[in-house]
Structure 1
Amino acid sequence: MLMKPLLFVLIIISLFSCQTDDADYEMVAVAIPEMMSKSEFRKSVKVQAAKPTVNVGKIYAYQDFIFITDAFKGVHIIDNSNPSAPKAIAYLKIPGNEDISIKNNYLYADSATDLVVFDISDITNVQVVDRLEDVFSIYDYQIPRDAEYADFSNYDFENNVVISWRIVKERREKVDNSLLVFNDAAFSTAAESSVGVGGSLARFQIIDNYLYTVGSSALSIFNISNLANPIFENLQYAGWSIETMFYADHHLYLGGTNGMYIYSLENSNIPEYVSQFVHWEGCDPVVVDGNYAYLTLRGGNACGQMESVLEVIDITDKTNPTLASRHILDNPYGLGFKGAALYVCDGTSGLKVFDKTNPLELQQTQSFTDIYAKDVIPLHNSLLMIGEKALYQYSYNENALQLISTFHLD
């Protein structure tokens, strides 16, 4: 049976129209925020039994305990009194948490826009003792890296917080890629003492009676003379897209995607900008020993350019830091040092050890290539290293690392 001419014309027009529409639209990965009201969010902090880690974040050491953050969910407490057999003993549920810092048994943790204080003097009975609300005005929403858009259309910035994300595929009109919104802040070795030690990816630092925290562009200063009741003293612009913070010789060194910023702590409550060392775009933790800063730049994905390197920066003149040497790496993350040894976490390429006796000519002395290395804490008697799903501990055996234990987190 022959098709009627009018019907045939309508079908042809329809097909042509669809082809035209398809040229203007595409299927994209859209991140939808899963939200919670601030009132409910603030009630959800709890001390729970030990549990597996979903997304390994950062590492922190205090006395005989290791704290490992489960990114944006909480903190695992590991009893490390026997490094050969560490044991998970508790979990602090802290929605929106990224970093912690501890002094004299008081643990400070961010919870989205808030700062929460815990008394951990009895590790079996941790207590929340204070909460400073809305002190972090610029909140990193941590939009998933595989998302092409973030849909905030139903998000109430005043009364809600983002606790997680789900990604859906949606058919959307094509736009200029330069307008896409990704993870962007625009939405936005210590001496043994009573203060714990964080890794190079840390954004919290306790120095004397102050807690310094850095967000993507803001430095927040808290007076912790009264440890149980900190006072928010100051907020100041710190730079662009800041990711990490390191303290050495009365200065803060902030690692950002486009450079390293140096701030003097001559006035503790008002850090003073000294200088910036500019580099190409890349994820950038930094550590400092004497006249040299060591920083890694990880390229690719959302971090920036494709090349990944370890850079040695001469900071003899802190007002004019200069590049001293550069070493090619694969996909570096955190780093740390003890004595003449520099420990560099090179992601899927493992842990690499360098002799930095001559900072201008680093010599690789050891490598562990069968592990994923994310960050390290070189302690007095051992090296802690966090990977994708495991905590590794090494002893310093005749200037070479020797594995003590592997603690699986899943």
Structure 2
Amino acid sequence: MNSIKIFFSCCIVFGFLSCSEDDPGKYADYLVARPLTITLQEFKNGVEVVSPKPIAESGKIYAYQDYIFVNDKFKGVHVIDNTNPASPRKVAFIKIAGNVDISVKNNFLYADSLTDLIVLDISDINNIQIVNRLQNVLRDNVVWPLEADIFEYDDWGNPDNVLIGWEVVTERRLIDEVPQRFEDVMMANAAENSVGQGGSLARFKIVADYLYAVDSHSINIFEISDLANPVDMEDVYAGFDIETIFNRGDQLFLGSRSGMYIYDITEPSNPSFISEFQHGTACDPVVVDGDYAYITLRGGNGCGATESGLFLVDISDISNPSLTASYPMEEPYGLGIRDNKLFVCDGSFGLRVYDTTNVPDLVALQHFEDITTFDVIPLQEHLLMVGEETLYQYSYNDVSLELISSMSLN
């Protein structure tokens, strides 16, 4: 019996008021997840450059020369001309089914499309060209939204459909119906190089002639000396629940839900394990500066931990990283560091700015409240930050940031 039939039956017997969805004894709010799918044919033909369009859900941010690329989760990449930071403008949307990450070198853009690697020539930003597609070279990074209470789908497992992501919404449901629905679903589940800069949430990282793309367990390696024709190298198993990648010199720092893994890339085609730092289970990006790694841990939302914070890890002995200090946070996401300033995106609690001159003793400089923040890139001249469908840009001075512009992505 569906909810509508239950509702009217209940009203006939007990009266309208006793069956209202405001009745806390019968109804409650639940997070309901529904799959976002496209047909297999749409996926195969799912790369296209089109006119600018409103963003559906802002994801990661990437900067290259005078352009900013903002991921639209599972849909593609918005291209923004940032020649004038006070007045950025959209110039195109690159439609890429299932996309969440990009990286750019010498006008060649690399993007994931579920298990495929897409290569585009962006030398003429007004005439972006698709030049290559490597099929089945990446692990599918679409993960189940563990924070959801209910999973709903009518046609799961249809070989003609491709899962590209999940939509999670809050809905009011009859309490008595929810446990069985959730149980049923869980049982059913089984020259000088020009390289851009991504934020701390990136899974793609270009280092010299190699592109490193992490999935939940491995480092996927591509040799890109011929930029239009990447060579898929042997993957390296790296750990569990890997989420992000950061590079410093000949080292890769991988953020996972259980800790930070450090790999040596002196031999770039064969990363070798150096050490790891373990922490409680939580969502985990990492950036590195000097003798310290900065890690944000976001509890809740299916990440495992209940508390959130900023961890400072001493890596002066790279083979034996150790926790030095921690600072409480509310719901941190991306972070970035430049010139003794640390920027932490604290979700709906805004942007926090710290002075790291006397690290590990951080000094709070500014807190931009009343904005939702997700990912941040400290550039040489100014700061880029993406929030809830908004791109923010700030100028630096010695002690503070000042807003240059805010651009709605809708």
Distance 1:239 1:223, change over 3 A: same
Distance 1:210 1:181, change over 3 A: farther
Aligned to 2:270: 270
Aligned to 2:139: 137
Q: Greater shift after overlay, 313-322 or 30-39?
A: 30-39
Distance 1:385 1:277, change over 3 A: same
Aligned to 2:88: 86
Any idea what the Cα deviations from partners look like across 1:223-270, whole Å, max 9, x if unmatched?
101000101012122211111110012111111111111111011011
Preserved CA contact (<8 Å) 2:222 2:233 = yes
Count of residues paired in the alignment: 377
Q: Give, in whole Å, the separation in 2 of the partners of 1:247 and 1:379.
A: 16
Q: Give, in whole Å, the separation in 2 of the partners of 1:199 and 1:166.
A: 24
Aligned to 2:389: 389
TM-score normalised by the chain length of structure 1: 0.85
Distance 1:123 1:181, change over 3 A: farther
Distance 1:266 1:39, change over 3 A: same
Preserved CA contact (<8 Å) 2:150 2:181 = no
Aligned to 2:126: 124
Structure-to-structure mapping, 1:281-360, within 5 angstroms: 281-360=281-360
Aligned to 1:50: 52
Preserved CA contact (<8 Å) 1:33 1:152 = no
* One-letter identity of the residue aligned with 2:247: Y
* One-letter identity of the residue aligned with 1:54: A
Q: CA deviation at 1:323?
A: 0.1
Does 1:227 pair with 2:231? no
Could you tell me which runs of 5 or more consecutive residues in structure 2 were left unpaired when the two chains were aligned: 1-27
Preserved CA contact (<8 Å) 1:148 1:181 = no
Q: Give, in whole Å, the separation in 2 of the partners of 1:175 and 1:334.
A: 34
Preserved CA contact (<8 Å) 2:257 2:283 = yes
SS across alignment from 1:67: strand
Structure-to-structure mapping, 1:133-282, within 5 angstroms: 133-143=135-145, 145-149=147-151, 154-156=156-158, 160-165=161-166, 171=177, 174=180, 180=186, 194-282=194-282
Aligned to 1:6: none
Preserved CA contact (<8 Å) 1:244 1:284 = yes
* One-letter identity of the residue aligned with 2:92: A
Preserved CA contact (<8 Å) 2:392 2:406 = yes
Q: CA deviation at 1:143?
A: 3.9
Q: Give, in whole Å, the separation in 1 of the partners of 2:264 and 2:294.
A: 18
Q: Give, in whole Å, the separation in 1 of the partners of 2:58 and 2:239.
A: 27
Q: Greater shift after overlay, 251-260 or 363-372?
A: 363-372
Q: Greater shift after overlay, 348-357 or 144-153?
A: 144-153
Distance 1:377 1:193, change over 3 A: farther
Identity %: 48
* One-letter identity of the residue aligned with 1:204: F
Preserved CA contact (<8 Å) 2:80 2:92 = yes
C-alpha RMSD of the superposition: 2.7
Distance 1:29 1:295, change over 3 A: closer
Distance 1:350 1:181, change over 3 A: farther
Q: CA deviation at 1:397?
A: 2.2
Preserved CA contact (<8 Å) 2:81 2:89 = yes
Could you tell me which runs of 5 or more consecutive residues in structure 1 were left unpaired when the two chains were aligned: 1-25
SS across alignment from 2:42: helix
TM-score normalised by the chain length of structure 2: 0.85
Distance 1:87 1:142, change over 3 A: farther
Distance 1:161 1:93, change over 3 A: same
Any idea what the Cα deviations from partners look like across 1:147-171, whole Å, max 9, x if unmatched?
53476973156x6421354679795
SS across alignment from 2:235: strand
Q: Give, in whole Å, the separation in 2 of the partners of 1:79 and 1:365.
A: 30
Q: Give, in whole Å, the separation in 2 of the partners of 1:406 and 1:304.
A: 34
Q: Give, in whole Å, the separation in 2 of the partners of 1:404 and 1:264.
A: 39
Preserved CA contact (<8 Å) 2:145 2:302 = no
Q: Give, in whole Å, the separation in 2 of the partners of 1:205 and 1:297.
A: 21
Aligned to 1:21: none
Distance 1:93 1:297, change over 3 A: same
Distance 1:119 1:174, change over 3 A: same
Q: CA deviation at 1:400?
A: 1.4
Which one has the largest radius of gyration? 1
SS across alignment from 1:385: strand
Any idea what the Cα deviations from partners look like across 1:197-242, whole Å, max 9, x if unmatched?
0001001000000000001112100010100010101212221111
Q: Give, in whole Å, the separation in 2 of the partners of 1:152 and 1:247.
A: 42
Q: CA deviation at 1:357?
A: 1.1
